[in-house]
Amino acid sequence: MNCSLRRLSRWLLPGLLVLVLLLPAAPALAQGEARTWSLNDLDGRRWGLSLFEQPDPAYPSGLRLRLNARSPGLSPDHDRPLAVRDGQGNSWRLPNRSGELVNRGEPLPDTSAQFDAVALDPPPSPVMPLQLEVPLAGGGGSLLQLEPDLVEALHEALP
């Protein structure tokens, strides 16, 4: 048995190495693919965050960040941008693209908002925490702290 394992490992390990070297690297965020996370804001309210490439040719292409309120009573503002800050004092304002959520003329959803992540230029550091201030209907905002895996995914998806 021991001899069989040695023979297997002699062929298996080099074979796996060749396979890994021959496989093309997958893009960070493939066309049509969405990455989704569940988050709590600093007040403990639930949010869903999705990161994806805009698939609809009727709108400008680029990376979008969509927020879905999952706690009752949360309603994002569809007119204001998303404020993003890092731990080094850098800040960005992502234009609100909530109009892309529905066909023209239809009412916007009360619990979802969408923002243009292309405005994260220059891109934030992949290792610094990010804080999002989601604008809420009626004024004010909801603060979300992004976990390191989400910050890294965002950084990898940016051009």
Instruction: Enumerate the domain spans of the chain.
Output: 34-157
pLDDT tens-place string over residues 30-50? 455 789 999 999 999 999 999
Does the structure show a pLDDT above 90 at 99? yes
- Look at the domain 34-157 and name its fold: Immunoglobulin-like (2.60.40)
The rounded distance, in Å, linking the Cα atoms of 90 and 82 is: 14
pLDDT tier, 20 (very low <50, low <70, confident <90, very high otherwise): very low
Residue whose C-alpha is closest to residue 98's, from 75, 117, 115: 115
Residue-level pLDDT at 108: 95
The rounded distance, in Å, linking the Cα atoms of 138 and 32 is: 33
Residue-level pLDDT at 159: 80
Mean predicted lDDT score pLDDT of the chain: 83
The rounded distance, in Å, linking the Cα atoms of 61 and 57 is: 7
Max CA separation in the chain (angstroms): 73
Does the structure show a pLDDT above 50 at 130? yes
Residue-level pLDDT at 34: 86
